[in-house]
């Protein structure tokens, strides 16, 4: 993957510096007055985080831990964290033994629009392809953000996370890795399955979903939020994936293309119990001060997903694409900023 096109002054400044050798000069990213969910800001943050994953072919790997870049990233993170804090009401505090029940209540109270029902019954093939393109930003590195928590946990919670992640990575078999199964889905739909191929096409809200995982994963102080985030994903996965599989088959997808969704119907029905009880419940029991963070991370996952689904469905209902043009048009920044629904 190479650096994408800049989407505004923040990414223009950042990408210009990343194209050269690392240096100690301050990297002033002027985010004053920019909405934290502005796609320019989200893309800048995504690029900073990506240096901890696969990186960019045209960026020197030494930038990953360059102090000047870390300082700039911290400024972006502060705006994003503040935006999440304002947009996602912090769930009421509960005792450690009440965390699992509180997670179930959060999931049950989620009233977001059902994108999975639309895809199962109404979406055309082009819309399903768009859905897969959005998801590719995370699914091609599925599980990686949450794996950051493994060395930060101990005992039962650590074992629970390892059990979940082992399944995500196919039990050590490449062809069973969930990211590889997703690549097969992309190929089945005639899409480019290379890592980051569609980074230029997705709006700010899609990037925000991925950035929240990386934000929680790369900071030890956010380990509770990361555990809660994973639990929310697992607890809201089985039924939607059943619908995705049905929608793909309705549109002519074969067994190979649908296998990614079929796999999640089965695996996540087990994972949700491990994540809610053994990971989050165990972590809250071991470190009671993290109970609130666990629930906040889950709430962030649900809220960002709700806002993303609302954005996509609103575009489709108006007969428009939910993706950006290859080169983001002049109005993409304004529209996408507004659609990342008040993360300001």
Task: Note whether 198 and 277 are same-domain residues.
Answer: yes
Residue range 110-128, pLDDT digits in tens: 888 899 999 999 999 999 9
| Average pLDDT score over residue span 240-267 | 95
Q: How far apart are CA 176 and CA 143, in angstroms?
A: 13
pLDDT value at residue 327: 55
CB 82 within 8 Å of CB 36: yes
Entry pTM: 0.94
| Domain co-membership, 80 together with 111 | no
Range of the domain at 38: 9-85
Same domain, 49 and 148: no
Tokens of 276: 């809610």
pLDDT tens for each residue of 183-232:
999 999 999 999 999 999 999 999 999 999 999 999 999 999 999 999 99
Confidence of residue 331 (pLDDT cuts 50, 70, 90): very low
135-175 pLDDT tens trace: 999 999 999 999 999 999 999 999 999 999 999 999 999 99
- Number of domains, the chain: 2
Q: Over 70: is that where the pLDDT of 333 sits?
A: no
How many Cβ atoms are within 10 Å of 111's Cβ, its own excluded? 8
Q: Are residues 101 and 75 in the same domain?
A: no
pLDDT mean over 300-315 = 96
2 is a domain residue: no
Q: Are residues 81 and 109 in the same domain?
A: no
């Amino acid at each position: 993957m190479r650096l994408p096109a800049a989407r505004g002054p923040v990414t223009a400044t950042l990408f210009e510096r990343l194209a050269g050798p690392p240096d100690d000069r301050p990297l002033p990213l002027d985010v004053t007055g920019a909405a934290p969910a502005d796609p320019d800001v989200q893309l800048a943050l995504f690029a900073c985080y990506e240096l901890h994953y696969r990186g960019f072919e045209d960026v020197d790997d030494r930038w990953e831990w360059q102090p000047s870049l870390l300082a700039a990233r911290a400024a972006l993170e502060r705006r994003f964290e503040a935006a999440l804090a304002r947009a996602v009401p912090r769930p009421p505090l509960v005792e450690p033994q009440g965390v699992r029940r509180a997670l179930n209540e959060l999931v049950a109270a989620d009233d977001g629009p059902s994108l999975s029902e639309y895809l199962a019954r109404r979406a055309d093939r082009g819309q399903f392809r768009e859905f897969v393109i959005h998801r590719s930003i995370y699914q091609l590195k599925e599980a990686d953000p949450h794996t950051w928590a493994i060395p930060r946990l101990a005992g039962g919670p650590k074992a629970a996370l390892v059990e979940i992640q082992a399944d995500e990575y196919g039990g050590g078999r490449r062809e069973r890795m969930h990211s590889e199964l997703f690549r097969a889905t992309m190929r089945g739909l005639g899409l480019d399955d290379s890592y980051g191929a569609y980074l230029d096409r997705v709006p700010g809200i899609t990037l925000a979903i991925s950035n929240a995982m990386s934000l929680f994963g790369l900071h030890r102080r956010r380990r509770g939020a990361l555990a809660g985030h994973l639990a929310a994903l697992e607890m809201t996965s089985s039924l939607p994936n059943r619908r995705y599989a049905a929608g793909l088959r309705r549109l002519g997808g074969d067994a190979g293309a649908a296998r990614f969704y079929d796999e999640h119907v089965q695996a996540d029905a087990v994972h949700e119990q491990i994540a809610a009880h053994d990971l989050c419940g165990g972590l809250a029991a071991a470190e009671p001060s993290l109970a609130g963070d666990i629930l906040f991370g889950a709430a962030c996952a649900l809220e960002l997903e709700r806002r993303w689904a609302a954005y996509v469905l609103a575009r489709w209902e108006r007969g428009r694409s939910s993706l950006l043009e290859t080169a983001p048009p002049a109005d993409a920044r304004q529209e996408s900023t507004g659609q990342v629904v008040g993360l300001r």
